């Protein structure tokens, strides 16, 4: 089922409240997935640039390992008559198609027990984190690092998730 929620924990919390029966919920749920669509950068015209150190620090990324991000071209290409030459692949939009960014909360044995016991959502969060669950922001960043999408796209998709 689909649900409007801030993140997968918020969705789980809403579902538990809605159902009002934690034992039943623990049996019914195998996972909660939070998904956002982001636009994919055009391979033909994407532009590499060096992210500044402050941005990387804010994102908790190692500056010595990341030397480039990509973005749509920032300068227009002009022909001899001064008319703009659009990229044929993306018609000058900088993006072609979309891809999903996911956050998956796996309801493993530990989470099942916590749900059954009616534990607060923060404890479920801590458990999932310990089991190396990635948040939406992090899976999104991986797509920026491998050049699939731009930082602006990820920020846009995270902003809409805060609604
Ligand atoms: Zn293009």
* Dist. CA 97 → ligand 1 center (Å): 11
The confidence score (pLDDT) of residue 161 equals 55
> 13 CA distance to ligand 1 centroid (A)?
42
State mean pLDDT over 1-30.
89
CA dist 30 to 7, 86, 88, Å?
Answer: 16, 47, 44
> What is the residue-averaged pLDDT of the chain?
91
- Residue 7 scores a pLDDT above 60: yes
Cα 43 to middle of ligand 1, angstroms:
7
Give per-residue pLDDT as tens, 118-158: 999 999 999 999 999 999 999 999 999 999 999 999 998 88
Domain residue ranges in the chain: 8-160
For the chain, what is the radius of gyration of the CA atoms?
20
Find, among 12, 4, 3, 2, the residue nearest to 122 by Cα: 12
Could you tell me which residues come within 8 angstroms of residue 130 by beta carbon, excluding any fewer than 6 positions away?
Answer: none
Q: Which fold has domain 8-160?
A: Rossmann fold (3.40.50)
Residue 48 alpha carbon to ligand 1 centre in Å: 13
pTM: 0.80
- Residue spans of beta strands (DSSP E) within the chain: 31-41, 47-49, 69-71, 77-78, 84-85, 95-106
């Amino acid at each position: 089922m689909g649900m409007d929620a801030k993140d997968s924990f918020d969705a789980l919390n809403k579902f538990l409240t809605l159902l009002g029966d934690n034992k039943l919920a623990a049996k019914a749920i195998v996972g909660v997935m939070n998904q956002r669509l982001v636009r994919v950068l055009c391979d033909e015209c994407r532009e590499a640039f060096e992210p500044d150190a402050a941005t990387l620090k804010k994102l908790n990324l190692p500056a010595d390992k990341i030397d480039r991000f990509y973005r749509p071209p920032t300068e227009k290409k002009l022909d001899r008559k001064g008319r703009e030459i659009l990229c044929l692949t993306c018609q000058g939009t900088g993006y072609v198609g979309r891809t999903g960014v996911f956050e998956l909360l796996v309801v493993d044995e530990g989470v099942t027990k916590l749900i059954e016991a009616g534990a607060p959502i923060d404890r479920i969060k801590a458990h999932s984190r310990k089991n190396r669950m990635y948040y939406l922001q992090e899976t999104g960043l991986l797509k920026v690092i491998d050049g699939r999408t731009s930082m602006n796209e990820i920020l846009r998709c995270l902003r809409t998730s805060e609604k």
